[in-house]
A = this chain, B = another copy of it.
Amino acid sequence: MKRSARFEQQPPFARANCFACQGRNRSEWCQLDSADLALLDSNKVTSRYEAGQELFRQGDPCPGVYIIERGTVAERRDDAQGNSAVIRLRHAGESLGYRDYFAGDVCSNSAVAVAECTICFIPRQAVQALLERNPALGLRFLTRLAADLKSTEDTILHNTALSMRKRLVHLLLSLKDHYGEMTDEGILRLELPLARQEIASLLGSRPETVARTIHALEEDGIAVFAGRAVLISDLDKLLDELEADTEP
């Protein structure tokens, strides 16, 4: 139980309260007035999660809505036969759990912190109160869900139409914004928040295949992998991977 350590986290970032929260203006919660914000602030619970820690589990009654301040969360779904897949990743600034709040009683997937996270939790009563006070908030979530649906449909086409290699490249590219930095030498450096296993699950594959695909990428001079660090000297080569039609 490291929960008591969460206040140590706050000082360097100065987001002890919702009013000062930097992420808010780019999120669903950007249109709250100060009375709403006060309500949000007094009801939210900010916690720190270690990598691997679970926020909620598929089948649990939906506890409320989460907002990721820092870190990345994986949404995972399991079926009755024991199969499992990571459906998507959610990064800092994104909310989480609203789908289950609106869809029904229980969580239809599990959420696990893949890196160390700082996350605000808003109990469902508070969410409900906010929605009642501020109809625009509901509309924001309507738009949010529509966008989620769109990108989830993309994933379907993605997984069936693209090779492992392309899917992996696509993942690297999608992590660039949150986990990439340019070195002085002009080399893009990614620090992956995911284990190989999680990468495999996210891409609908196996760890062995991911390892092999990574190996192939290295042999072709596309990227260099060292544990979770990825070095990409020529971003265009990565982009070209996606362009190339497999069939001549």
Contacts and interface: CB of A to CB of B under 8 A. Distances in A.
Interface of A: 77-79, 81-85, 87, 99-100, 102-104, 108-109, 135, 138-139, 141-143, 145-150, 152-162, 204-205, 245
Given A83-B160, A103-B143, 16 more contacts: A77-B157, A81-B161, A87-B153, A87-B156, A99-B150, A102-B146, A103-B147, A103-B150, A104-B146, A104-B147, A108-B153, A135-B135, A138-B138, A149-B152, A155-B156, A160-B205
A156 B81 contact: no
Contact of A145 (B104, B146, B155, B160): B146
Nearest to A158: B79
Nearest to A78: B157
12 contacts: A79-B157, A79-B158, A100-B146, A102-B142, A103-B143, A103-B149, A108-B150, A109-B153, A138-B142, A141-B142, A142-B142, A159-B160
B141 A102 contact: no
Given A156-B155, A159-B160, A149 B99 contact: yes
Contacts of A156: 77, 85, 87, 152, 155-156, 159, 204
The dominant DSSP class at the A interface is helix
A160 B87 CA distance: 11
Contacts of A81: 161, 245
Contact of A157 (B85, B100, B102, B160): B85
A82 B135 CA distance: 41
A160 B160 CA distance: 9
B108 A161 contact: no
Given A81-B245, A141-B142, A142-B145, A87 B157 contact: yes
Contacts of A152: 149, 152-153, 156
Nearest to A79: B157
A160 B162 CA distance: 13
Contacts of A148: 149
Contacts of A143: 102-103
